[in-house]
Amino acid sequence: MKLPAGATGFGPLEQASHYDARSFLKACHDAARRTGGKVTATHQAGVTPNFHTVVITCGHEHVAVLRHALLPLIALAQAPADAVPLAPAFIDHTHLAHILSQTTGCQVLSTTDLHQPIASADLSELTPAEHTQIRYWKPTTVGELLFNYWD
């Protein structure tokens, strides 16, 4: 997998200007409705984490939809309980992923993509600052690099 500049969340700020939070939230509400659930929580990206979170609850199932703050990438994870996890617990949810890819225009990454070792990813487009962050935080998987709580 080739990761573009900004993958760590330490990227050019102009990339973030293309992101429309309102459209993403609307797409999540639509996906929740289409899967028989509802949006039960939201959290905007900031200094940390580098991703936006929308929790969709359907019955006893709670799925966190993670949208990278700079890149058009989405991951699905177990919704965190009370505490902030050190790293998201990624999951696959085929139906929800299909709906979100259609309605957001983002790529929804699978657990196979997210668990790919960093050593096998192409990091050649990342900025020098991003390589510095990788050396410091030492992520082991693509998911840990893309969706992180680094500051």
Locate the domains of the chain by residue range: 15-146
Local confidence pLDDT in tens for the 151 residues of the chain: 999 999 999 876 555 545 678 899 999 999 999 999 999 999 988 888 999 999 999 989 999 999 999 899 999 999 977 656 668 999 999 999 999 999 999 999 999 999 999 999 999 999 999 999 999 999 999 999 999 999 8
Would you call the peptide bond into 128 cis, given omega within 30 degrees of 0 as the criterion?
Answer: no
pTM of the model: 0.92
Identify the pLDDT of residue 47: 81
113, HSE (Cβ side, Cα atoms, 13 Å): 15
Sheet-wide strand order for 107-108: 38-43, 51-58, 61-68, 73-78, 107-108
CA distance 66 to 72: 11
Beta carbons of 31 and 23 less than 8 angstroms apart: no
Query: Alpha-carbon distance 139 to 7, whole Å?
Result: 12
pLDDT at 14: 54
- Tell me, what's the pLDDT at 15? 55
Helices (H), 35-125: 94-104, 111-114
98-103-104-109 Cα dihedral, nearest 10 degrees: 0
Q: Please compute, for residue 16, the number of CA atoms within 13 A of its CA located in the half-sphere on the CB side.
A: 16
Which pLDDT score is estimated for 90? 97
